[in-house]
Structures are given as structure tokens and as C-alpha cells.
Amino acid sequence: MFIYQLKETSILRSFITPVGRDDMLDIEIDAYIHCVSAFIKLAQSEYQLLTEIIPEHHQKKTFDSLIQESLDNLMIEGDNIVSAARKAIMRHDYSAVLTIFPILRHLKQTKPEFDQVLQGTAASTKNKLPSLITSMETTGAKALEHFADNIKNNPDKEYNMPKDGTVHELTSNAILFLQQLLDFQETAGAMLASQETSSSASSYSSEFSRRLLSTYICKVLGNLQLNLLSKSKVYEDPALSAIFLLNNYNYILKSLEKSELIQLVAVTQKTAERSYRELIQQQILTYQCSWLKVTDYISDKNLPVFQPGVKLKDKERQVIKERFKGFNDGLEELCKIQKAWAIPDTEQRDNIRHAQKTIVEETYATFLNRYGSVPFTKNPEKYIKYRVEQVGEMIEKLFDTSA
């Protein structure tokens, strides 16, 4: 019986071997979780065996002594994970910090079994797991706080801005991190609650922690929106700035809608979805303003009024020539520039193209119908370069470098 006990103890000890701090992030998360579960099962077996061969009044103390090395190794490994997470925070490697989330969740889930198996051991033994849990919660909460601050303060560097106005890496990284938190909502909420000093936090409920997590996610999204607005000012062209914001707002909204994030956000921000749609619409309108310098040439504004059959004056002919030339040059320039811009969302891209195509085609068709047959030049092909459908075809190629 005693030999079997020693075997079990050696298995326990060999199962949990500390590794170097610098290598902690390379550890399989499942390996540590299995170690925790294995410790509980083996400790339970140890105690059961011990009760059969050790006098009752020596059992607790003996058991405490037997499990110390294995328990210490388990705690050391946990401390190393916390240490590696802290280093990841310093490197702004927040995804790596997520390592502690599944581990912390498992530790909290198995704590009742831990408490039961360690019943009767010294207070210092009983306090080891709660201490590790507190350390992980504090580190996790710190990581969440630093992540939110990093999103807010991410620098505006021209070299780091997408030339085509597509979704910024900061946006995709921020959304990815928030989506990863969805797998650990209760754990993340408890982390945030553990840092609250109010009386309501002392005995927080799942609803309280869910509200805290919702508030946190809204804070990250708010910081991201402010940062994107600041970054958009790096672009010299207001239209490209609008496309950049449109792409990022649209990406955020679609990502929220595709995941449970939108429900979490709605816990504290009921109108978030509507707000993003309004922001997107504002950017579309700002973008459309870039075409005014093209359509203004062919609008009714300041165009000569003439009677059919009456010969045009030189000044009137010149005005018409300038309007056609201005429209042609503006159309060609915008199509060349905006062809290189990007709108990754196919539906959004098609809608914007269609709306712009409709506006320009209708305005040009009216102008062409009014002045296309007017004898304002001996070389009409020089000024009437495009048919209405050709203009539409050019606009259909916007936001497509392959077209």
C-alpha cells in the first residue's frame, strides 16, 4: 500500500514539471489545464490511500506534506504564465495575454474540488490557489486596460496608413481581440469586476460582470472610433479620408453583427448599431461631394440660355466648350484616382458605385440632351468625348485596380 502511495506521488510530481519563464507562451494551454485536473484527481487518490494506512490524527499533516512539492510546481507554473503574460503586455502583444483566460476559467471552475481536497491542510496551502487566481485576474484586467489605452493612443503614422483607404490593421486587430473575448465572457467580466472598489462589486453577479464587459467593449470601440477619425486626417484628399472611415466603420458594424458582440454592446449602448449606420451614411455623403467638381460643370448653374435657331455668341460657345472640357477632365481624373481606392465590402462597393453612376449619368444626360446638338464647335468629337453609357461604365470601374 505504501509503495503504491509513493508511486502515485512520483506520478504526481513527474506530471507537473516547471518550465522556463521565457518559454511560457509556447506552452500548450491544454497541457496546464490537464495538469490542474490531474493534480486534483491524483491528490484525491493519494488522500484515499493515505486514510487506509496512516493513523487518523496524522492524516491531514501527512497529506499536506506529501502534496507540497506537486502543488508548488503547479503554482510555480501558474506564476510563470502570469509573468509571461505581463511581459506580453509590455510588448503590446495582447493576443498572447489571452493565454491566461482559459486557464483562469478552469482554475475557478475547479476551485470547489481544490478546496475540498485541501480541506484540513495548512492555511498557507489552502491560500495558494486563491492567490494564483487573484494574480491572474489582476494581470488580465491590466491587459484589458492597457489594450483599451493602446487603441486610443495608437500613433498616426503616414507610412502605416493604407494607400487605398481600406480597413486599418488597428481596426481588424481590435475587433479580433474583442471577438476572442466572447469565448471568455464570464472570465473577462469577473476580471473587470475584481478591480471594482464599489460595494456592488464585492458580491458581483453575472449580470453585473456582463454590464462591465459591455461597458469595456464600448470603451474600446469608442477609443477606436476616435483614433480612426484622427488617422483619417493623414489623407490630403477628403474623399479618400471618407472612404477610409467608411471602410472601417462598415467593418466594425459587420463584425459586430456577425458575432455576439452586438448583443453585448447593446447591454449598455442600445443605439450602437444605428449610430454606426449613421456614421457610414455621413462618409458616403462626404465621398459623393468629391464628384460635385465634375457634375458642377454640367449643372444648370450659370449656363447660357438661348433660343432655338438663334446663333450663339462667341462667349456662349466658349462657356459650353469649357463645361464639356471641365467635365471630361474631371471625370477622367477622378476615375483614374478612385480606381486605385478600395472598398472591400462588395455590397457597399456596388451600392456606392450605383448611386454615383445614377447621379452623374442623369446630370450628364440632361446636359448632353441640351447642348449635344448645339453648334458650339466645328469639332464636336473633341468636346463630346463620351456617351452617357460610357460614363456609367467608367464609374462601374471605381475601386477596382484590375478593371
pLDDT band at 120 (very low <50, low <70, confident <90, very high): confident
Residues 310-329 have pLDDT tens digits of 788 888 889 899 999 999 99
Residue 308, pLDDT score: 66
Residues 142-180 have pLDDT tens digits of 999 999 999 999 887 777 899 999 999 999 999 999 999
The answer as to whether 241 is a domain residue is: no
What domain count does the chain have? 2
Residues 242-260, mean pLDDT to the nearest whole number: 97
Give start and end residues of each alpha helix (H) in 118-237.
123-126, 128-153, 169-181, 185-194, 199-202, 206-232
Burial letters 143-163, b for 16+ CB under 10 A, else e = bbbebbebbbebeeeeeebbe
How far is residue 134 from each of residues 67, 96, 181, measured CA to CA in Å? 22, 19, 19
Last residue of a domain, one of 97, 124, 153: 153
pLDDT band at 71 (very low <50, low <70, confident <90, very high): very high
Last residue of a domain, one of 105, 121, 153: 153
pLDDT band at 302 (very low <50, low <70, confident <90, very high): low
Q: What percent of the chain has pLDDT over 90?
A: 67
pLDDT band at 20 (very low <50, low <70, confident <90, very high): very low
Distance between CA atoms of residues 343 and 230, nearest Å: 20
The answer as to whether 354 is a domain residue is: yes
Q: CATH no. for residue 347?
A: 1.20.1280.170
The answer as to whether 172 is a domain residue is: no
The answer as to whether 369 is a domain residue is: yes
Last residue of a domain, one of 134, 153, 172: 153
Q: What angle do CA 134, 77, 32 make, to 5 degrees?
A: 95
pLDDT, mean over the chain = 88
Residue 257, pLDDT score: 95
Asked if 167 and 344 touch (Cβ cutoff 8 Å), the reply is: yes
Q: Assess whether pLDDT exceeds 60 at residue 76.
A: yes
The answer as to whether 117 is a domain residue is: yes
The answer as to whether 197 is a domain residue is: no
Residues 184-202 have pLDDT tens digits of 999 999 899 888 765 444 4
Residue 123, pLDDT score: 94
Q: CATH no. for residue 71?
A: 1.10.357
> What range does the domain containing 298 cover?
285-397
Residue 73, pLDDT score: 93
Residues 355-369, mean pLDDT to the nearest whole number: 95
Q: What is the CA radius of gyration of the chain?
A: 33
pLDDT band at 98 (very low <50, low <70, confident <90, very high): confident
The answer as to whether 276 is a domain residue is: no
In three-state form (DSSP H/G/I as H, E/B as E, the rest C), the secondary structure along 282-300 is HHHHHHHHHHHHHHHHHCC
Distance between CA atoms of residues 39 and 391, nearest Å: 73
The answer as to whether 299 is a domain residue is: yes
